[in-house]
Structure 1
Amino acid sequence: MAKGTGSFATFLILCPTAFFLGLIFASFPYDYPVLWTSLPTPDSYYDMLEAHLRFVHASPPIIPRILHIVIAVGLLGFIAKLYRPSEANLLFDGASLVLYMVALVVYITNIVKGLRIVTDGTYGQADLPTGSDPTAATATDGDIIGREDSLRVIAASNTIMALVLVGVLVLQAGQWYALRKEGEEIEQINAAEREHAKNGSKTSASTKKKQ
């Protein structure tokens, strides 16, 4: 892969990753009282959080389209970097792609599904068979979660995505550092070879003069 192509592909990876981290950070004030405080969370806060998530889910179609375009841009960057990969590409970019896909799976399975449940208000009913009695199932099945736990799952999913996306940035930074050190070592070796060749030519010239 050409150096310029690799740099542009890295840019295509870093920009969507930073964009998603910004979105998650914007949600942190909503997630903090649910996950990161020992104080009891009042019911009124869950009402506010529920209203916020419903507002987000009711966004105009252009908003999710832009989000999906940004996701595709990140995947395009990985495809470009992993085309005819080097050893460094397989190690760093391969692991970065795995983390990126983990974030994408969490987004689809937890965030998107959770927003639909919040909007519909069908807490604990999403996986019930058609025609079943939701009240009876909720009363007998201990694995079905209610409103508060559903909102906590969404908040925890944001945290998981933040961690794996930070991992993507760390791996890309590690790749940049490794390539930089490799370039410096190659330059030092080339400089030493040029110096050796220069000294050798001087020695040959001196020998000829003495003869």
Structure 2
Amino acid sequence: MALRGVAPFATFLIVGPTCFFLGILFAMFPYDYNVLWSTPPLSPLADPASSPRAPFFDLQEAHLKFLHASPALISRVLHIVIGTGLLGFIMKLYKPSEANMLFDGASLALYMCGVAVYAANIVKGLRTVTAGAYGGKVLQEGETLVAKAMEGEEGGFIGREDSLRVMAASNTILALVLVGVLVLQAGQWYAQRKEEEEIEAMDRARDEKKRGKEGKEGGGKKKQ
């Protein structure tokens, strides 16, 4: 089982960073919402030929450039928080029990999926947005973006709006993954609580049975 006496603290080390990252993603949701989820009404002052989402793409792009231009301290704190969550998993999975393997193992898998999304999509996307290195090529007849991805050449065919949508979708995927971590940790806490209640009930029943048996034996001796 996990190190004795450290499970609540280790759970805090997991839940704390997870909620921290969800807070960051929630702060970015206003920028992602109209880009990915909703088609906003066209402003009366806007050009009728323009896309109603164009101003929101501009806002999202400016926000992402601002984030990427943050001081190095910001990224270091972010990476420290990621490491804190991993430390919590290491502490809970040291000599794991069956429950640890089920809940914490699945939580760690989701957490690492989130780290992979961050490293592969979000970091790369921030660099692309800052550099303005959007693709502008058009697929020829018979070509697909999947085939270009297999060839490692898809970057030249993904335009500005699609790149920003990918960033918004990555944030959504990351949020779902982190919510899954919280659900599994809550499920583990509930299962452990129910197990403790059942053990306490069994102990009370055993003690009552033992006292009743001792009472009968004492009554028999008095009659003799």
Structure 1 gap segments, 5+ residues each: 125-134
> Matched residues in 1 for 2:39 and 2:58: separation?
19
- Show the 5 A alignment for 1:118-157: 118-124=129-135, 138-140=137-139, 143=145, 144-157=157-170
Q: Distance in 1 between matches of 2:181 and 2:5?
A: 20
Partner of 2:63: 52
1:90 to 2:90 alignment: no
> Residues 106 and 41 of structure 1: is their aligned pair in 2 closer, same or farther, counting only changes over 3 Å?
farther
Q: Matched residues in 2 for 1:139 and 1:153: separation?
A: 18
Instruction: Say which of 95, 99, 107 aligns to 2:110.
Output: 99
The Cα offsets for residues 167-186 of structure 1, whole Å up to 9 and x where unpaired, read as: 10010000000000000000
Give 1:153's aligned amino acid.
V
2:53 counterpart of 1:42: yes
2:207 is the alignment partner of 1:194:
yes
1:13–1:73: 8 Å Cα contact kept in structure 2? yes
- 1:47 positional shift: 2.1
Residues 140/180 of structure 1: CA separation in 2 closer, same or farther (3 Å cut): closer
Segment of structure 1 superposing worse, 41-50 or 16-25: 41-50
Contact 2:3 2:95 in 1 (8 A): no
> Secondary structure of 1:38's partner?
coil
Which residue does the alignment assign to 1:79? 90
Unaligned runs of 5+ in 2: 41-50, 146-156
**What is the alpha-carbon distance in structure 2 between the residues aligned to residue 169 and residue 161 of structure 1?**
13
When normalised by structure 2's length, the TM-score is 0.85
Q: Is residue 2:72 matched to residue 1:61? A: yes
For residue 3 of structure 1, report the CA deviation from its aligned partner: 5.4
Alignment of 1:180 with 2:193, yes or no, is: yes
**Counterpart code for 1:181:** K
TM-superposition CA deviations, 1:99-127 (whole Å, max 9, x none): 11111100010000000000111112xxx
CA distance in 2, matches of 1:76, 1:159: 25
The alpha carbon displacement at 1:43 in A equals 2.3
Distance 2:52 2:106 in 1: 38
Note closer, same or farther for the CA distance 1:32–1:62 as it changes in structure 2 (3 Å cut). same
Q: Which amino acid counterpart does residue 120 of structure 1 have in structure 2?
A: A
Counterpart Cα distance in 2 of 1:101 and 1:31: 23
The corresponding residue for 1:111 is: 122
Contact kept? 1:53, 1:115, Cα under 8 Å: yes
Any idea what the Cα deviations from partners look like across 1:68-109, whole Å, max 9, x if unmatched? 000000000000000011111011000100111111100010
- Asked if the contact 1:88–1:175 (Cα under 8 Å) also holds between the matched residues in 2, the reply is yes
What's the secondary structure of 2:58's corresponding residue?
Answer: helix
Matched, 1:170 2:171: no
How big is the alpha-carbon RMSD for the aligned residues of Structure 1 and Structure 2? 1.4
8 Å Cα contact 2:13/2:87 also seen in 1: yes
Deviation at 1:55, TM superposition (A): 0.7
TM norm structure 1: 0.90
Change (3 A) 1:140 1:199: closer
Which residue identity is paired with 1:38?
T
